[in-house]
Structure 1
Amino acid sequence: MGMFDNLRDKATDAVDEHGDKVSEGVDKAGEFANEKTGGEHGDKIDQGTDFAKDRLDGLDGQDDDIQ
């Protein structure tokens, strides 16, 4: 098993166990970025947070971790 496989496995375990906290962190990061840009790029930031959540949710192949 390579280094990246090990990292992916750890990330998958973290999302499985703490998906709600990860989702909150992604949302807070998006809100922070939106504030710093004065809402100028809100649509792009929302797209980015949605994409990040989809990628994290796809780690274990299930759509139940990230809301």
Structure 2
Amino acid sequence: MDRTLRRLLGAFTALTLVVHLVLATLLVAHARYTGRDDGAKWALATLCGGLFGVAGYVRAGD
């Protein structure tokens, strides 16, 4: 993998992480606001989904 592609992939991974962290935070906040107790479970699922999505993308490119 050349340097430019690695940089682009790193930026894409960082952006994906930030977006999923924001989504997970909003999920937990909404769950607390509505009185649900399963917000943490769904936040974890959101973060793992982002992680597995990026890993699958990288793996498909190899």
Q: Shared fold by TM > 0.5?
A: yes
TM-score norm. by structure 1 comes to 0.55
Alpha-carbon deviations, 1:14-65, whole Å to 9, x = none? x715211221111111111110111622113212321222112220218xxx
Paired residues in the alignment total 48
1:40 aligns to what? Answer: 37
Q: Contact between 1:26 and 1:52, CA under 8 Å: does it hold in 2? A: yes
Please provide the CA RMSD for this pair. 2.3
Q: Structure 2 stretches of 5 or more lacking a match?
A: 1-7
Q: Which has the larger radius of gyration?
A: 2
Runs in 1 of length 4+ with deviation above 4 angstroms?
none
Using CA pairs under 8 Å that are at least 6 residues apart, name the structure with larger relative contact order, 1 or 2: 1
Which amino acid in structure 2 is aligned with residue 16 of structure 1? L
Give structure 1 stretches of 5+ with no counterpart: 1-14, 63-67
Q: Which has the higher helix share?
A: 2
Q: TM-score, normalised by structure 2?
A: 0.58
